[in-house]
Amino acid sequence: MIYHEIEEYVPKLETEPNKKKKGFKLDPMPYQWTLYNHGEILTYGYCHSRKQAEEIVMRELLVRTNAIR
C-alpha cells in the first residue's frame, strides 16, 4: 500500500551567536512531503507551498502506480 504525508517542516539552523553568516542563503521551504510503501520511505522532498507539495505527491503516486501495473 502506497500512501503519503505532508507536514510543515521547521529547519534547525545551528549558528553561533557572535558569527554573522556571509554568502549564499536559500529561502525556507516550509513543507516536507514523504511517500511511503508499507511503512518504508520511497521518496521525500521539500516545497515552498502545501499546494506544490500536493501536486508533486499526486504526480509521484501516478508514476509509481502506473509502474506497478
Q: Residue 2, Cα to own-chain centre: how many angstroms?
A: 16
Percent of the chain at pLDDT > 70 equals: 72
Compute the distance between CA of residue 36 and CA of residue 48 in angstroms, rounded to an integer.
Answer: 21
Tens digits of residue pLDDT in 19-48:
566 665 666 788 999 999 989 999 999 999
Which residues is 34 bridged to in the sheet? 5, 44
Which residues is 46 bridged to in the sheet? 32
Helix segments in 1-69, DSSP class H:
50-68
Tell whether the model's pLDDT for residue 7 goes beyond 70: yes
pTM of full prediction above 0.75: no
